[in-house]
Amino acid sequence: MSKATEDRVSPYLEAIKNLSPLIAQHRQSSDRDRHINQNVYNKLADAGLFRLWLPKSLGGPELSPIEFLTVVEAIAALDGAVGWLVGNGGGMSRAGGYLPETTARKLFADTQAFVASSTAAVGKALSEDGGFRITGKWYFASGATPFGPSACRRSIARSRNGFRRCAQVPAALVHPAHDHLCGRKRPLTPEPLTDKPRWSALNLEGVVFP
C-alpha cells in the first residue's frame, strides 16, 4: 500500500477499529431483527462509510477502487452483512456525480444519507410533462430500510423506445413492501416461501421526475 493510499484510508480503518465492539454487540440482534441495528447504522454514517465514492466536488473523499476495497474489506472482516451495506452504500454515493449539483448537495448535506440501489430494468418510464413517470416494483435493493429522510432510491426503468432510464427517487416517494432486510440474508430453504419473509421490494407508484 502506497503512502498516499495509506493516508487516505487510515481514518476509515481507525473508525472501523473503534466500531468493532459496537458491531459485535449488536450482531445477534441484527440477525434476529433482520436489519442492521439503528445505532450501528448511525455510527457507520457518522464515520463517512456511506460516502466513500462521493465526488470531491461535493465534499466526499472520492476514494480510488483500491482504497475503496481496502476499507470495505476491513469492515467486512468484522461482519459480512455490515461490509455488504458499506460496500453498497459507499459505492452508490458515486450517484452524486450524476445528479445536478444543487440536487446532489441537498441530498448529501445529510450525513445519514444512503442511496439504496436496484439495477434491474423492471420498471416503466413513460414520458409525461417534460419528464418521466416511473412505475414498478423492484425486488431487491440493498439498504432499502428507510433510515433517514434524505435517503434515496436509485432504480432502473425501461422506456417505450427501449432506452433504460436511471431514476434517483427520494425515499419519501418509495414504499418498501414486506420485511425490511438490510444487508442480512435469510438462509436458503427448499420450502415454499408464501409464509416466510422476503427481500424488500421497492414500489414506485406514479413518481414523476425531470
Task: Return the domain boundaries, the chain.
Answer: 3-97+104-108, 115-209
Nearest CA-CA partner of 46 in 6, 77, 73, 16: 16
Residue 47 confidence (pLDDT): 96
Write the pLDDT tens digit of every residue in 167-210: 777 666 766 654 443 333 333 333 333 334 443 333 333 333 33
User: What fold characterizes domain 3-97+104-108?
Assistant: Butyryl-Coa Dehydrogenase, subunit A; domain 1 (1.10.540)
In sequence order, which residues have a C-beta less than 8 Å from that of residue 32 and are 6 or more positions away? none
Residue 16 confidence (pLDDT): 97
Write the pLDDT tens digit of every residue in 154-169: 555 565 666 777 777 7
Lookup: cell for 18? 473503534
Superfamily for domain range 115-209: Butyryl-CoA Dehydrogenase, subunit A, domain 2 (2.40.110.10)
Q: With 70 as the cut, is the pLDDT of residue 136 above it?
A: yes
What is this structure's pTM?
Answer: 0.74
Across 17-37, average pLDDT: 89
Across 41-57, average pLDDT: 94
10-26 in b/e burial notation, b at 16+ Cβ within 10 A?
eebeebbeebeeebeeb
Across 87-106, average pLDDT: 89
